[in-house]
Amino acid sequence: MAQVLEFKLPDLGEGLTEAEIVRWLVSVGDVVAVDQPVVEVETAKAMVEVPCPYGGVVTARFGEEGSELPVGAPLLTVAVGASEPADSPPTTAAPAPAPAPAPAAATSASARHETSGNVLVGYGTGAPAARRRRVRRAPLGGSVAPAPAREPVNGAAGAVPVVSPLVRRLAREHGLDLRELTGSGRDGLILRCDVEQAINRGATQEPSTVPAPAPVPASAPAPAPAGGPAMSPTPVGASASARPGVTRVPLRGVRGAVADKLTRSRHDIPDATCWVDADATELMAARTAMNAAGGAKISLLALMARICTAALARHPELNSTVDMAAREIVRLPEVHLGFAAQTDRGLVVPVVRDAHARSAESLSAEFARLTEAGRAGTLTPGELTGGTFTLNNYGVFGVDGSTPIINHPEAAMLGIGRIVPKPWVHEGELAVRQVVQLSLTFDHRVCDGGTAGGFLRYVADCVEQPAVLLRTL
């Protein structure tokens, strides 16, 4: 007899609590092998193919493509030891309560050999079988057991089923009583979209503080507004989204993570920006000579990274973070250099670990590897977190300057504009030189303008005269 095992959405690491189902790779009734990818999900960090630790027949899937599931929610159930697909399996089922632990002898040999010990972050399949949750398939035409409520909100009126702690916090921040909401999830589960819709309804139905006008008799003419023609009345509190042609785009996945992080940065960090134009002619010539000598090609971003790490060694205040709870500036010994990369999925910031200890060739190779992984959507959460300073090369978009938002919780970001021929006074003569604008946005809590200006001036000096960098290595 087949043993039905439930596979839950595993912990994807780095504090991620939910993921969106992008594409199912298997259907109900399919036979899956151990560690075969069964679903593609998108987290706030990256796109991930989730492998199933069990081999057998898929008996149920949970969640439609485009829906979000919290970590620990059921993904699918697999009949381990089944020789063929079950007849007409249900496409959606709810897990039944786990039975009492079975004796170790009750676990069949086939079940033991049809599971994997491979793990994702924080998730293991090598736990004893008695601790795994078994799911009974519902009989054809019968009902299924109700799904257990997740993340209850306790109150005088009892528990409210909420899909995740993030939803509960969102409701609390906007003063919503979850007991007054009707969840659109399975068995009335309150999802994030339910709370967001309630927030929007509250915004559009907010009563006006303007007193209502006195009623006008039917025989009296309507007064014309002074100073202009009559205007069509606009309903008080009318929602912009009610107009034809308005599109609402959910802030979730990478876009949602970017929105949350940038909002937090603007809210928490008192930033300031300084900038300078620099003559990059000598730097471009040095790069050309290095690449002409043979060997691996050196990118301009790698050279800027070498300059940046040297500048941070002279001004360590900018390689830090602020701990407001302890009221301390935490200076960091290593430089983990993030760089902004635009992909089809949005802006991501991969991190080059220990950039201060890498050569220009090593930096070039790592930048290329992480950029390709970002475009393919295969960056891991660990490759997208832990940065201490960020480079932002917005010159690739054909613009000269910018005032970027700091990548929270870092303390600074260096922006690089496009390098273009411009008139420039060189050695007392007017000449056409390759000019770049550099900007530094910094957390004013970690340093004053003198330190930020000194950092940026050193970077500009190295760009204009690469020999300056050699003297400080």
Which CATH number characterizes residue 169's domain? 4.10.320.10
Claim to verify: residue 41 and residue 162 sit in the same structural domain: no
pLDDT at 129: 36
Claim to verify: residue 167 and residue 77 sit in the same structural domain: no
Please state which of the ranges 157-161, 282-286, 446-450 shows the lowest mean pLDDT. Answer: 157-161
**Could you give the residue numbers annotated as active site?**
444
With respect to residue 427, please indicate whether it lies within any of the assigned structural domains.
yes
Which range of 60-64, 115-119, 197-201 scores highest in mean pLDDT? It is: 60-64
Per the structure block, which two tokens stand in for 178? 């979850």
Query: Could you give the CA distance from residue 33 to residue 6 in angstroms, rounded to a whole number?
Result: 15
Residues 300-319, mean pLDDT to the nearest whole number:
96
Per the structure block, which two tokens stand in for 246? 């308005």
Q: What total of structural domains would you count in the chain? A: 3
Angle at 62 between CA 61 and CA 63, to 5 degrees: 120
Q: Which residue has the higher pLDDT, 132 or 372?
A: 372
Range of the domain at 105: 3-131
Query: Could you give the CA distance from residue 167 to residue 163 in angstroms, rounded to a whole number?
Result: 7
Query: Could you give the CA distance from residue 97 to residue 90 in angstroms, rounded to a whole number?
Result: 18
Mean pLDDT rounded to a whole number for the chain: 78
Please say whether the beta carbons of 401 and 67 come within 8 A. Answer: no
Q: What is the DSSP letter of 188?
A: G
Claim to verify: residue 126 and residue 166 sit in the same structural domain: no
**326 three-state secondary structure:** coil
Element holding 306 (H helix, E strand): helix 300-314
Please say whether the beta carbons of 238 and 204 come within 8 A. Answer: yes
Claim to verify: residue 40 and residue 156 sit in the same structural domain: no
pLDDT digits (tens, 9 = 90+) for 134-182: 333 344 344 444 444 444 444 334 456 765 556 777 787 788 888 888 8
Please state which of the ranges 159-163, 310-314, 347-351 shows the lowest mean pLDDT. Answer: 159-163
Domain boundary among 101, 131, 161: 131
With respect to residue 142, please indicate whether it lies within any of the assigned structural domains.
no
Claim to verify: residue 449 and residue 366 sit in the same structural domain: yes
Claim to verify: residue 111 and residue 162 sit in the same structural domain: no
Please say whether the beta carbons of 80 and 4 come within 8 A. Answer: yes
Q: The domain spanning residue 346 has which CATH number? A: 3.30.559.10
Per the structure block, which two tokens stand in for 472? 């400080």
pLDDT digits (tens, 9 = 90+) for 374-432: 888 888 888 988 999 999 999 988 999 888 899 999 999 999 999 999 999 999 999 99
Residue 240, amino acid: A
Which range of 81-85, 111-115, 234-238 scores highest in mean pLDDT? It is: 81-85
68: confidence class by pLDDT, cuts 50, 70, 90: confident
Domain boundary among 175, 202, 229: 202
Claim to verify: residue 53 and residue 184 sit in the same structural domain: no
Per the structure block, which two tokens stand in for 205? 């139905």
pLDDT at 130: 35
Claim to verify: residue 13 and residue 66 sit in the same structural domain: yes
With respect to residue 159, please indicate whether it lies within any of the assigned structural domains.
yes
pLDDT at 160: 66
- Counting DSSP H helices and E strands in the chain, the numbers are 9, 19
pTM: 0.56
Claim to verify: residue 378 and residue 317 sit in the same structural domain: yes
Residue that is written with structure tokens 């930048």 in the block? 367
**430 three-state secondary structure:** strand
Query: Could you give the CA distance from residue 435 to residue 304 in angstroms, rounded to a whole number?
Result: 14
With respect to residue 255, please indicate whether it lies within any of the assigned structural domains.
no
Residues 127-131, mean pLDDT to the nearest whole number:
37
With respect to residue 254, please indicate whether it lies within any of the assigned structural domains.
no
Residues 330-357, mean pLDDT to the nearest whole number:
91
Asked if omega into 409 is within 30° of 0 (cis), the reply is: yes
With respect to residue 28, please indicate whether it lies within any of the assigned structural domains.
yes
With respect to residue 40, please indicate whether it lies within any of the assigned structural domains.
yes
Claim to verify: residue 443 and residue 342 sit in the same structural domain: yes
With respect to residue 459, please indicate whether it lies within any of the assigned structural domains.
yes
Domain boundary among 131, 164, 185: 131
Q: Which residue has the higher pLDDT, 152 or 460?
A: 460
Claim to verify: residue 112 and residue 197 sit in the same structural domain: no
Half-sphere exposure of 185 (CA within 13 A, CB side): 27
Q: The domain spanning residue 103 has which CATH number? A: 2.40.50.100
Claim to verify: residue 61 and residue 183 sit in the same structural domain: no
Q: For residue 297, give the nearest of 370, 391, 367 by alpha carbon.
A: 367
